[in-house]
Every structure is written in structure tokens, then in C-alpha cells.
């Protein structure tokens, strides 16, 4: 079966006709984004075959909001060298027409013939459902349904079995089924069929063994606990005997002895502190006596030092006083030079001001000249601007009216051409002297007239002819031509022009004048930004400033070549001023130094006299001798105290008071811990004796032996049941394998096609098919090490791939049986990774050598290497709209 074309109209989003022509025999790829119409086109194909044309349950085909629409689908295809053409309309003006070569039929007869050909059924009432779709429901995959194949196979099972030539379901009525069913029932008493979990008596045995094992383990734990507690009690009794000596009392006695030693050490530390304070007081007294003795020695040295300083200060004072006359003479010379330099600077600045004012006057004259020229040019440009504005004001320019005039002129030209084309041509040729009248106007000789309105031709001596031009639209054209002519004249009058050309010339002239006006305005703005009046005021202001500057210059003294420059005069004044300032500072410093030296000489003379009196005093000598004796006694006491402190410090350090404190703490904690452990041990002994008496009365070891005997018996029964379950499972598997071998021999044609496609995806793999022709397992690997996995356990993408391979195999089998096949895939394989998709393209391309495939996808980039040209839905819509 090969579909050649599909035409859809007024169906969902296809309000306008959409036609797909020239469909090829292999893969036909349709691409477009979501909601571009791919699924709508698939729905149209399904409706054309599956839905009764009289059905009222196809409201989903109607375009939204269009209650008057009549969805229509037309499909042309070839089958066995005959051309079939189906046309079906729904909801309004319902009909179904089918042409087969030279034959035709309609209505339900046509629908029944199609269902017989393709292998499907119609719903008794309502919309068509998947259970009615048969072979097309298996080969036509809806969006998102590629992995769902079981229901489709159920719907098409009868047709598939017919294609195989025998009924595979006959296997279920064989004699071996009774044995197989008995084995299954016996096994189901011990293990579940679906999950192979224990059930019935086997499950009870497993539970009973588990309970006994748990109880036995608890008893063993209790026996072990009893034995451990007995051992613990023996250890505690031994430790209790050792507590009779009360070791904590020894710890406390040792702690008391350590505390007494620490108290003795603390007394030694107190004595050490007292002697240390006495040593500090001794050292302080020695320092004070030494300072008093040093004052006498220092007084004599200080007297000699002050006498030397007095001699030096007296000599320096005489030298400084001798310098003052020379400094005064040099200061007077510097003052004269500074005054002369100041006068020279004043004359130089006057000369410089005259030069600056001459330059400023020159600049004012130049600016005045430029301003006068700009004023003249601005006045000239302003006159031109006024002239251009007056010329522009005389023009009538309305862009909208001019645009409308152009439209009217074009429409008149079009109507003129149309009138000339459709008007009746009257050609005449009269004999010389023969006169006739057309609508009252005399005509003669040979000529031609175009008649767009009825006319009357009067021929002298013959009669009159009434001529009516052909076509009903000539009068309308003439009327429209008259209306447009009136509008043209009104627009010309509005624009003040005789014709369109003049109006356009006026517009061009106005545009040029506006440009020139703009240029003139810019030129004037550049020449006089604030206006010509402001520029004239600027000229007058510059003229007055120039006259004032000239008057000031005339009043200044004339220039002289003997005057130096301002910089040179300034430099000369700076040098003279700096020299004058340095001399003034030198004189002031000299006088200040003389005053300081005079004061220093006076102070040193007084201090020398005081020190000499103190050195010559007898009381001072007696006091110094007494201080020497006391200082000797203090040094003897210092040596005694230092020896005592050193000896006591060594004794304290050897005793280690810090360690004694730690010993006291350690011994007290040990005593407390030993006493607490003894009391705790007594309580634990009492508790263990009570618990052991209770546990001994329970007979734990006897209970454990009894439970162990029961457990061994239960394990023997469990082993027996498990061996029986395993034997039944083995027997069931062997029967199933034999039955599967028979099924595979009957399904060999289908299996051949499945393996053909599957090897392109999974080498050394096979699909297991049940007696209802459904794929149920995927076997991978070699025959001996094959790994079987249920299709339902595969990933979504893998199930979609297995579903497509199965459908292609069904199509091959149906084609071999002489059945028509058409494969439709709506957004298939969207869950396949890149590698799997590349392998599935090889599968599709191989199937396309035998079947026609309509492939719809919203991912065109995934199918670029399929070797075919994609049809874009947008392009099909555009072609349909044209």
C-alpha cells in the first residue's frame, strides 16, 4: 500500500485546505515545532479510516469556534496496481466516497470495504476506540504510545494469526496443558507464580523455623549472660576481701603528712619574705648615704667647672661687642641699594603696563573689525531669509493631500485602462458625403470610438442604432471614474495646482526652500547667536572700549630705552632686599648674643662665690665622715641577709611545694575513689546474687536443649518442602521451555523478522514472543549465557525501541501474507540517546525498502542523516493558503 496524497480541510487548525502531494514509497518525513499540525494530520488520517462518516462523536475534528465547519479528508493510495481514492466529510453534509480503479462506492459500503482491506473494525456506537483499530492500530503509532504494544497486539491478534496461516492459540488446548496446569497448581501451593516467593505450607515452615531460631538464640544469649554474671560475681568477691584493709585510710594519712610538710614550707616562705624586705631597706639606705657623700665630691668638681665657664663667657662677650660697628656700616649701605632698586622696579612696571595696554587696544580693534563684518553678513543673510520665507508662504503644501492626489491619479489611470479594455469599440467608414451622428455629434469618414456607456448612432437614410456596451461593470467603472475625477479636481484646487506635476513641483520647491531656510537660520545663528540687535550692541560696546583704552594710553609717560625689564628690576630688588634683611637679622642676633653672654657672666660669678663658701665650711666635713662610717655598717648587714636568703631559697626549692599540693589533691581523690568503689562493689554483689538466683531457677540450659531438638525437626521439614518446590519449579520450567520451542516453530516467520531488525540494535539478542504473538522478554548474550529481562523492566526508551522493532516485524509478516501495510510514526524515538537513535535510523531505513513510512517529528535535527528531504508543516500551510 502506497499513499500518494492527503488533503485536509476545515479540520482542527487546518481551516484552509492543506494538501500533501507526491508522497514517496519509503520514508516521508514531516517536521515542525509543537502545535504546527503534525498530530492533527495524523488524526485526520485516523479519522478517515476509523470513524464512521455519520458519527457525531468526532467534534474534536471541528475547528475551534466554527460550528458551521464540515471537516473533510481525502486520501489517494495504490494497492495491487489499483488506484484508490477516499473522500470523507464529517459533521455537516456528511458523505463517504471511495473510488477503486474504475469502480466506485459510497457510504457504509465504502467504509466496510476499507476495514476489510486494512484489517480493523468500526465501533458499534460512539467514537472509535483502540480495541477496534486492528492492524492499523498496531502499525500507526500515536504520540507518546510507542512503548505500549500489548493492547494493540490484542486488537490485531486475529489478523496476525491469519497472516501466519495457523492459530497459535491452539497450543493452549493440547493434552500437555493438563499436566502443565497440575504442575503449576502444585507449585503455586508452595511458591507464588509472579514473584517466586514462598507461600502456603512452605511459608509457614519458613516462619516456624525462623521463630524457633530466634527463640533458641534468645535462650543462648541468656545462658551466656548467666555465665558472665557468675564470673563477674567471683571477681567482685575477691576484690571485696581486699577492701577489708581499708586502703583509703592510708591515702588520707599520706595526704595529712604531705599537708604538714607544706605548712612548714609556707612558714619558711614567710621568713624569706621578711628578710627580703629588710635587704631592700638596707640597699635603699646605702643609696641615700652614697648620694650624700657624692654631693661633697661633686661640689668641688662643680666649682672648678663653673670657674672655667666664667672665663670662657667673659672672653666671648668682649669678642661679640667688638663686631657691632662694622655691622652698622654695612646695614646703611644695604638700605641705600634697596631704595634705588625699588625705584627702578616702579619705572619698569609703568613701561610694562604701557605695552600691555597697547596690545589690549590692538585686540579690541581687531575684535571690533570682526564684529562689524559679522553684523553686515548677518543683515544680508536675514534679508535672504525673509525673501525665502515669503516665497515659501506663497506655496500650498499638504503632504496628505498630495499623497491622496497620487492615489487618485493612479486609480484614474487604472480605470482608464480598464475602460479601454472592456469598452465597446465602434469602427466606421462612411462614403464620401455620408454623414451620421453618434449621441447627437456628427461623425464622418473613417475612425474609431470607444463606448463605455449606451449610445445612439443615427445614419441618414438608414435609421438609428442603439448600442449598449457589453459587461455590467462599465457603468460602474464610468461612475467611479467620474467620482475620482471630481476628487482629483478638488485636491488640485486645494493644492493650488493645475495638475499633479505642478503639485509635485510645488512640493519639491517647498522642500528645497525649507532646506535653504534652515541653512540660512543656521548661518545667522552662527554669526549672531543672540540676534543682530545684540550683535550691533556688541559692536558699539567694542568701539567705546577701544576709544577709552586709547585715552588711557595717551595719558601714560612715553617709553624709554634706559628702563630695564620688570623681571630684571624685580631680581635686583630681591637681591638688595635679601641682603638688607640678612644684615638686619645679623645685627639683631649679635645684640641678642651680647645680652645673653652678659647675663651668663653675671650668673656664673654668683654661683662660683656660693660653691667656694660651701667647700670652705667645717660642718660639712664632719657630716661626710659620719656618713662613711654608717655606710660601712650597712654593707656588712647586706652580706649577712643575702647569705641567709640564698640558703633558705635552696631549702624551699628542694621541698617542691607545688608538687606537695598535687600530692595532697591526688591522695584525697584516691581515698574518695577507693571508698566509693568499695560501697559500689557491695551493692553490685547483692544485685548479682539476686539475679543469679532467679536465672538458676528458670533452667535455661534445659530449655535451650529442648528448643534445639524442635528446631532440628522443623529444619528437616523445611528442607523437604524446599526440595519439592525446587523440583516443581524445574518441571514447570522444562514444560514451559518445550512449549516455547513449539510456539517458536509456529512463530518462525515473525521471529525471523524480529531477529532481522533486533540484530541491528543488539547483536546476539532475541525477543521472546508468547503464544499471543506479544513480545514479553529480551534475551541478550549467547544462548548458554543469555540474560532474560522482561520488557516491562526495561527503560522507557528501550521499551519504545522494542515496540517499534516489533511493529516493523509485524509489517514484514503481513506484507509476506499479501496484506497492505502503512506505517505512521508520530514523534517516535524521542526518548532514545544519540547512539541508540543512530542504530534505530538504520532499522527504519531498512524497513523503508519494503514499506511506506510517514514519520512526524518536532526535532528535525535528529533526522538530517536519514537520506530524505523533510517536509516542513509551515511550508505545507503556506502552499495551502495560496
Average pLDDT taken over every residue of the chain: 81
Checking if the pLDDT of 72 tops 70, the result is yes
- What does residue 648 show for φ and ψ, rounded to 5 degrees? -65, -35
Q: What percent of the chain has pLDDT over 90?
A: 17
pLDDT of residue 830: 87
Out of 4-13, 92-101, 382-391, pick the least confident: 382-391
SS3 of residue 871 by DSSP = strand
SS3 of residue 243 by DSSP = helix
pLDDT of residue 466: 78
pLDDT of residue 676: 82
d(CA 133, CA 158): 12
Strands 775-780 and 95-100 turn out to be unpaired
- What does residue 249 show for φ and ψ, rounded to 5 degrees? -70, -35
Q: What is the DSSP string of 747-784?
A: THHHHHHHHHHHHHHSTTEEEEE-TTS-EEEEEES-ST
pLDDT of residue 136: 93
SS3 of residue 505 by DSSP = helix
Out of 89-103, 500-514, 609-623, 631-645, the most confident range is: 89-103
Q: What percent of the chain has pLDDT over 70?
A: 91
Question: Which residue do the cell numbers 543672540 mark?
Answer: 530
Cα-based distances in Å from 228 to 222, 224, 235: 10, 6, 11
773 CB neighbour count, 10 Å cutoff: 22
Contact 696, 287 (CB under 8 A): no
Cell of 191: 511458591
SS3 of residue 436 by DSSP = strand
Q: What is the pLDDT of residues 485-499, one digit of tens each?
A: 888 888 888 877 888
pLDDT of residue 295: 65
Q: What is the pLDDT of residues 785-798, one digit of tens each?
A: 667 788 888 888 88
Cα–Cα–Cα angle for 444, 450, 452, rounded to 5 degrees: 130
Question: For residues 761 and 140, which has the higher predicted lDDT (pLDDT)?
Answer: 140
* pLDDT category of residue 172 using cuts at 50, 70 and 90: very low
Question: Which residue do the cell numbers 494497492 mark?
Answer: 79
* pLDDT category of residue 112 using cuts at 50, 70 and 90: very high
pLDDT of residue 168: 46
pLDDT of residue 201: 87
Checking if the pLDDT of 472 tops 60, the result is no
Checking if the pLDDT of 531 tops 50, the result is yes
pLDDT of residue 135: 92
Q: Under 8 Å CB-to-CB from 658, ≥6 apart: which residues?
A: none
Checking if the pLDDT of 30 tops 90, the result is yes
Contact 447, 420 (CB under 8 A): no
d(CA 229, CA 693): 11
Q: What would the mean pLDDT of 312-333 be, rounded to a whole number?
A: 80
Checking if the pLDDT of 560 tops 70, the result is no
Checking if the pLDDT of 664 tops 90, the result is no
d(CA 225, CA 698): 13
| pTM of the shown model | 0.41
Checking if the pLDDT of 422 tops 70, the result is no
Cα-based distances in Å from 449 to 197, 313, 430: 108, 149, 14
Residue 50 per-residue DSSP state: H
Q: What would the mean pLDDT of 519-535 be, rounded to a whole number?
A: 77
- What does residue 295 show for φ and ψ, rounded to 5 degrees? -60, -35
Question: Which residue do the cell numbers 528458670 mark?
Answer: 698
The DSSP bridge partners found for residue 7 are: 19, 74
SS3 of residue 556 by DSSP = coil
d(CA 367, CA 362): 9
* Max CA distance (Å), the chain: 193
Residue 198 per-residue DSSP state: B
Question: For residues 825 and 747, which has the higher predicted lDDT (pLDDT)?
Answer: 825
Checking if the pLDDT of 421 tops 70, the result is no
The DSSP bridge partners found for residue 765 are: 780
Checking if the pLDDT of 167 tops 60, the result is no
pLDDT of residue 171: 47
Q: What would the mean pLDDT of 215-235 be, rounded to a whole number?
A: 78
Contact 820, 1 (CB under 8 A): yes
pLDDT of residue 177: 62
Residue 430 per-residue DSSP state: P
Checking if the pLDDT of 156 tops 50, the result is yes
* Strand spans (E) along 460-527: 463-467
SS3 of residue 145 by DSSP = coil
The DSSP bridge partners found for residue 446 are: 429
Checking if the pLDDT of 121 tops 70, the result is yes
160 CB neighbour count, 10 Å cutoff: 23
Question: Which residue do the cell numbers 518525513 mark?
Answer: 29
Q: What is the pLDDT of residues 453-470, one digit of tens each?
A: 777 888 877 788 877 676
Q: What is the pLDDT of residues 334-386, one digit of tens each?
A: 888 788 778 777 777 777 777 777 777 788 778 777 777 777 777 777 787 77
pLDDT of residue 843: 93
d(CA 459, CA 293): 176
Q: Which long-range contacts (CB under 8 A, 24 or more apart) does 622-627 make?
A: 623/292, 624/292, 624/293, 624/296, 627/289, 627/292, 627/293
Checking if the pLDDT of 851 tops 90, the result is yes
Out of 103-117, 623-637, 706-720, the most confident range is: 103-117
* pLDDT category of residue 106 using cuts at 50, 70 and 90: very high
CATH of 2-149+774-881 given 1.10.1660.10, 3.90.950.20, 3.40.50.300, 3.40.50.12780: 3.40.50.300
The DSSP bridge partners found for residue 75 are: 6, 86
pLDDT of residue 169: 46
The DSSP bridge partners found for residue 443 are: 436
pLDDT of residue 742: 63
Checking if the pLDDT of 40 tops 80, the result is yes
pLDDT of residue 173: 46
The DSSP bridge partners found for residue 441 are: 438
Amino acid at each position: 500500500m502506497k499513499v500518494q496524497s492527503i488533503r485536509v480541510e476545515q479540520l482542527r487548525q487546518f481551516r484552509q485546505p492543506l494538501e500533501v502531494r507526491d508522497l514517496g514509497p519509503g520514508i516521508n518525513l514531516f517536521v515542525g515545532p509543537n502545535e504546527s499540525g503534525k498530530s492533527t494530520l495524523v488524526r485526520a488520517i485516523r479519522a478517515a479510516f476509523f470513524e464512521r462518516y455519520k458519527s457525531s462523536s468526532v467534534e474534536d475534528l471541528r475547528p475551534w469556534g466554527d460550528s458551521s465547519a464540515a471537516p473533510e479528508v481525502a486520501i489517494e493510495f495504490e494497492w495491487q496496481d489499483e488506484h484508490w481514492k477516499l473522500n470523507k466529510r464529517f459533521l455537516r453534509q456528511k458523505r463517504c466516497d471511495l473510488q477503486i480503479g474504475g469502480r466506485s462506492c459510497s457510504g457504509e459500503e465504502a467504509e466496510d470495504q476499507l476495514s476489510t482491506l486494512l484489517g480493523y473494525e468500526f465501533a458499534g456506537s460512539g467514537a472509535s476506540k483502540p480495541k477496534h483499530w486492528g492492524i492499523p492500530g498496531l502499525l500507526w503509532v500515536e504520540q507518546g504510545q510507542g512503548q505500549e504494544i500489548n493492547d494493540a497486539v490484542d486488537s490485531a491478534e486475529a489478523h496476525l494469526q491469519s497472516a501466519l496461516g495457523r492459530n497459535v492459540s491452539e497450543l493452549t488446548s493440547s493434552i500437555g496443558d493438563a499436566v502443565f496446569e497440575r504442575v503449576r497448581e502444585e507449585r503455586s501451593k508452595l511458591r507464588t507464580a509472579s514473584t517466586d516467593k514462598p507461600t502456603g505450607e512452605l511459608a509457614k515452615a519458613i516462619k516456624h523455623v525462623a521463630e524457633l531460631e530466634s527463640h533458641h538464640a534468645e535462650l543462648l544469649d541468656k545462658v551466656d549472660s548467666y555465665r558472665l554474671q557468675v564470673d563477674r560475681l567471683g571477681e567482685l568477691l575477691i576484690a571485696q576481701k581486699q577492701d577489708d584493709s581499708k586502703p583509703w585510710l592510708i591515702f588520707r594519712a599520706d595526704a595529712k603528712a604531705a599537708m604538714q610538710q607544706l605548712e612548714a614550707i609556707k612558714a619558711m616562705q614567710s621568713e624569706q619574705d621578711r628578710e627580703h624586705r629588710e635587704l631592700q631597706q638596707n640597699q635603699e639606705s646605702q643609696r641615700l648615704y652614697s648620694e650624700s657623700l657624692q654631693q661633697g665630691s661633686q661640689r668641688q668638681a662643680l666649682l672648678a667647672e663653673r670657674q672655667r665657664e666664667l672665663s670662657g663667657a667673659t672672653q666671648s662677650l668682649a669678642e661679640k661687642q667688638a663686631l657691632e660697628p662694622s655691622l652698622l656700616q654695612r646695614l646703611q649701605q644695604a638700605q641705600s641699594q634697596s631704595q634705588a632698586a625699588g625705584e627702578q622696579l616702579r619705572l619698569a612696571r609703568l613701561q610694562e603696563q604701557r605695552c600691555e595696554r597697547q596690545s589690549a587696544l590692538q585686540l579690541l580693534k581687531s575684535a571690533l573689525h570682526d564684529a562689524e563684518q559679522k553684523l553686515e553678513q548677518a543683515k544680508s543673510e536675514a534679508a535672504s531669509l525673509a525673501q525665502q520665507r515669503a516665497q515659501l508662504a506663497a506655496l500650498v503644501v499638504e503632504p496628505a493631500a498630495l499623497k491622496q492626489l497620487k492615489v487618485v491619479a493612479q486609480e484614474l489611470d487604472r480605470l482608464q485602462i480598464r475602460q479601454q479594455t472592456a469598452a465597446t469599440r465602434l469602427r466606421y467608414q462612411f462614403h464620401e458625403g455620408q454623414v451620421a451622428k453618434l449621441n447627437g455629434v456628427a461623425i464622418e469618414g473613417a475612425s474609431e470610438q470607444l463606448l463605455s456607456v449606451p449610445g445612439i448612432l443615427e445614419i441618414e437614410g438608414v435609421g438609428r442604432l442603439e448600442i449598449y456596451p457589453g459587461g455590467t461593470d462599465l457603468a460602474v467603472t464610468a461612475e467611479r471614474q467620474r467620482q475620482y475625477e471630481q476628487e482629483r479636481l478638488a485636491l488640485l484646487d486645494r493644492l493650488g495646482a493645475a495638475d499633479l506635476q505642478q503639485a509635485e513641483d510645488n512640493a519639491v520647491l517647498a522642500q528645497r526652500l525649507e532646506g535653504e531656510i534652515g541653512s540660512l537660520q543656521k548661518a545667522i545663528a552662527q554669526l549672531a547667536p543672540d540676534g543682530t540687535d545684540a550683535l550691533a550692541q556688541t559692536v558699539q560696546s567694542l568701539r567705546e572700549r577701544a576709544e577709552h583704552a586709547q585715552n588711557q594710553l595717551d595719558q601714560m609717560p612715553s617709553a624709554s630705552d634706559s628702563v630695564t625689564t620688570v623681571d630684571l628690576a624685580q631680581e635686583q630688588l630681591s637681591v638688595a632686599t635679601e641682603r638688607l634683611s640678612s644684615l638686619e637679622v645679623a645685627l639683631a642676633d649679635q645684640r641678642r648674643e651680647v645680652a645673653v653672654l652678659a647675663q651668663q657672666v653675671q650668673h656664673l660669678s654668683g654661683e662660683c662665690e656660693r660653691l667656694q663658701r660651701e667647700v670652705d665650711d667645717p660642718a660639712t666635713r664632719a657630716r661626710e665622715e659620719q656618713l662613711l662610717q654608717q655606710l660601712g655598717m650597712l654593707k656588712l648587714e647586706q652580706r649577712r641577709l643575702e647569705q641567709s636568703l640564698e640558703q633558705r631559697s635552696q631549702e624551699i626549692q628542694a621541698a617542691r611545694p607545688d608538687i606537695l599540693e598535687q600530692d595532697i589533691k591526688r591522695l584525697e581523690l584516691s581515698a574518695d575513689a577507693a571508698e566509693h568503689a568499695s560501697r559500689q562493689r557491695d551493692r553490685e554483689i547483692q544485685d548479682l546474687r539476686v539475679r543469679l538466683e532467679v536465672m538458676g531457677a528458670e533452667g535455661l540450659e534445659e530449655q535451650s536443649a529442648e528448643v534445639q531438638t524442635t528446631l532440628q525437626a522443623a529444619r528437616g521439614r523445611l528442607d523437604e518442602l524446599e526440595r519439592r518446590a525446587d523440583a516443581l519449579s524445574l518441571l514447570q520450567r522444562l514444560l514451559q521451555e518445550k512449549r516455547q520451542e513449539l510456539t517458536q516453530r509456529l512463530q518462525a516467520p515473525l521471529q525471523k523478522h524480529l531477529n532481522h531488525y533486533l540484530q541491528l540494535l543488539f547483536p546476539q539478542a532475541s525477543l521472546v514472543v508468547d503464544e499471543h504473538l506479544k513480545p514479553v522478554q529480551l534475551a541478550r548474550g549467547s544462548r548458554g549465557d543469555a540474560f532474560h529481562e522482561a520488557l516491562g523492566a526495561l527503560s522507557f526508551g528501550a521499551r519504545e525501541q522494542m515496540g517499534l522493532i516489533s511493529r516493523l516485524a509485524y509489517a514484514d509478516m503481513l506484507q509476506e501474507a499479501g496484506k497492505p501495510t502503512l506505517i505512521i510514526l508520530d514523534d517516535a524515538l524521542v526518548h532514545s540517546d544519540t547512539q541508540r537513535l543512530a542504530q534505530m535510523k538504520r532499522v527504519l531505513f531498512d524497513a523503508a525498502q519494503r514499506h511506506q513510512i510517514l514519520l512526524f517529528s518536532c526535532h528535525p535535527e535528529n533526522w538530517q542523516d536519514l537520506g530524505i528531504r523533510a517536509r516542513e508543516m509551515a511550508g505545507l500551510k503556506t502552499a495551502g493558503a495560496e
